[in-house]
Amino acid sequence: KQITTIEGNVDNACRMLYRALTCVVGYGRPPYPADQAPAAGDLIHTVAAGETLSIIARNYSWTTWQAIAEYNSIKSPYTIYAGQKIKIPGKALKKGDVSGNGTVGIEDSRLILQYIVGKATLSADQLKAADINGDGKVDVADARLILQALVGKYTIK
């Protein structure tokens, strides 16, 4: 018998799985779906220690933990590991809707400011949605324009 991959301690796994095991061909893990190139618009999220699919989905307001699990072929009990890369299905964002919740609001301005000070990471699609004035960069001017739009002093095009 051959075992192509064993995740964990190889020696213990071999003893537990099959006493007459003659050959271990490889060590590691099978490829996760995110190991393949993402589709256009998809994001790759690297799982941090302590994260669950629910926590990850809250960071990407346009999706759910169930959609992320299905998209990555993660089955019950929905186990993910720190360092694992999972695909987040992409979404076309309208200008100003940095959070992806379908509306332009104060949270979008907050996300831009957090990005500027290094407290948030934005995907390529989010950066495009955040560049309100179209100058090719995301800065305080863009956050200000969102706030002005909320009080009717600017129209986001």
Q: Is the pLDDT of residue 116 over 60?
A: yes
Q: Report angle CA 27, 49, 126 to the nearest 5 degrees.
A: 105
The full 3-state SS of the chain, as one line of letters, equals CEECCCCCCHHHHHHHHCCCCCEECCCCCCCCHHHCCCCCCCEEEECCCCCCHHHHHHHCCCCCHHHHHHHCCCCCCCCCCCCCEEEECCCCCCCCCCCCCCCCCHHHHHHHHHHHCCCCCCCHHHHHHHCCCCCCCCCHHHHHHHHHHHCCCCCCC
pLDDT, mean of residues 19-30: 43
Per-residue pLDDT at 38:
58
Over residues 35-82, the pLDDT tens digits come to 555 565 677 888 999 999 999 998 887 788 999 999 899 998 899 999
Per-residue pLDDT at 59:
83
Residue 140 dihedral angles phi and psi, to the nearest 5°: -60, -30
Mean pLDDT of all residues belonging to the chain: 79
Q: Is the pLDDT of residue 3 over 80?
A: no
Per-residue pLDDT at 112:
96
Over residues 117-132, the pLDDT tens digits come to 988 888 888 899 999 9
pLDDT, mean of residues 90-108: 87
